[in-house]
């Protein structure tokens, strides 16, 4: 039974990874409805929070139906991170997560995200200070190391645990790899198998089929899986994994009608959250994934991603449902 602080998550929970421009409230709601046990916000800049930057503050929006929900923050400045903890705590999430893994250059060059993997003492000191600064459980998401020659994740994870980290999610790549090559789960298993570790160790990276989730659970012995790219346009993935755990069989793929309904609700929730203009604009990136695998779909997709009016998108979705209602997804 995995637990983060006092939050019981059941056997081998599935966590929605924090993904920039993806893990917003509408998408989190869809994933939660479809089996995600914990959801995390997009990562939020501590510097943006303390400056009251509108984009950073809006990412703090969380809703009761999402719980348990974690707010993820990143930064490398002690004072800024501690001040941001106070701001985050006021929004009453269940978990505060620290991003020590983002490989993007604009984050890394400031020493934040995966950049902090070059300064493990700072990584540990930041975590300890944040744990002491809040009553909420603090978790960490990180990578194996800066590059192949600097992987010390077993030692790093133990040190983070020892200063109060409540759980750790580890992406099975180094910063140098970015998202290339295959994720290596063996070092994550080594963290879990360290006899001194007692907090949950969650695996992340390339959990893209139910079979891979079983492998992570049974062959690598991890406490849960954090799901990222496999869920984009496929919020059903969490239930697909759970169904496979129970039965050893695959759930039928969502029908076109189910895909249309998810896309429609996604757009409705986005508009309710951000207004017509941004709601329409920021839902565009999901349509390709919702309807992946449908032949001759380019015309509909083009209309969805170029329309600025929600009624036009809704009309296109209705047309898709009517046109493709009998199509069997593979």
The answer to whether the beta carbons of residues 35 and 239 sit under 8 Å apart is: yes
Element (H, E) at 95: strand 95-100
Distance of CA 150 to the CA centre of its chain: 25
Q: Residue 2, CB half-sphere, CA atoms under 13 Å: how many?
A: 24
Whether the upstream peptide bond of residue 198 has omega within 30° of 0, thus cis, is no
Q: Is 109 a catalytic residue?
A: no
- Catalytic pick from 31, 102, 109, 165? 102
The answer to whether the beta carbons of residues 60 and 87 sit under 8 Å apart is: yes
The answer to whether the beta carbons of residues 126 and 77 sit under 8 Å apart is: no
Q: State the angle between helix axes of 120-132 and 153-162 in degrees (0 to 180), rounded to the nearest 10.
A: 20
Please provide residue 121's backbone torsions phi and psi, each rounded to the nearest 5 degrees. -55, -40
| Angstrom distance (rounded) from CA 204 to CA 229 | 10
The answer to whether the beta carbons of residues 101 and 128 sit under 8 Å apart is: no
Catalytic site positions = 102
């Amino acid at each position: 039974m995995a637990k983060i602080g006092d939050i019981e998550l059941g056997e081998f929970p599935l966590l929605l990874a924090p993904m920039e421009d993806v893990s917003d409230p509408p998408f989190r709601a869809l994933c939660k409805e479809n089996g995600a046990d914990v959801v995390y916000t997009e990562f939020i800049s501590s510097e943006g929070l303390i400056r009251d930057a509108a984009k950073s503050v809006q990412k703090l929006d969380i809703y009761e139906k999402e719980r348990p929900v974690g707010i993820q923050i990143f930064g490398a400045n002690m004072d800024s991170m501690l001040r941001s903890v106070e701001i985050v705590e006021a929004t009453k999430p269940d978990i505060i997560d620290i991003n020590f893994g983002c490989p993007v250059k604009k984050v890394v060059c400031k020493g934040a995200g995966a950049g902090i993997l070059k300064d493990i003492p700072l990584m540990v000191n930041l975590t300890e200070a944040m744990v002491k600064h809040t009553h909420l459980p603090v978790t960490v998401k990180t990578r194996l190391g800066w590059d192949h020659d600097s992987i010390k994740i077993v030692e790093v994870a133990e040190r983070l645990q020892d200063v109060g980290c409540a759980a750790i999610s580890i992406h099975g790549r180094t910063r140098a790899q970015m998202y290339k090559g295959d994720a290596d789960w063996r070092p994550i298993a080594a963290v879990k198998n360290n006899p001194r570790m007692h907090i949950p160790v969650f695996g992340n990276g390339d959990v893209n089929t139910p079979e891979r989730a079983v492998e992570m659970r049974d062959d690598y012995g991890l406490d849960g899986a954090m799901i990222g790219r496999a869920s984009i346009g496929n919020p059903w993935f969490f239930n697909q994994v759970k169904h496979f755990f129970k039965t050893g069989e695959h759930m039928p793929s969502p029908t076109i009608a189910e895909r249309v309904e998810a896309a429609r609700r996604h757009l409705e929730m986005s508009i309710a959250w951000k207004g017509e203009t941004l709601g329409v604009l920021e839902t565009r990136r999901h349509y390709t994934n919702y309807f992946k695998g449908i032949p001759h779909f380019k015309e509909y997709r083009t209309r969805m991603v170029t329309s600025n009016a929600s009624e036009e998108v809704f009309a296109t979705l209705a047309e898709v449902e009517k046109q493709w209602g009998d199509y069997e997804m593979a």
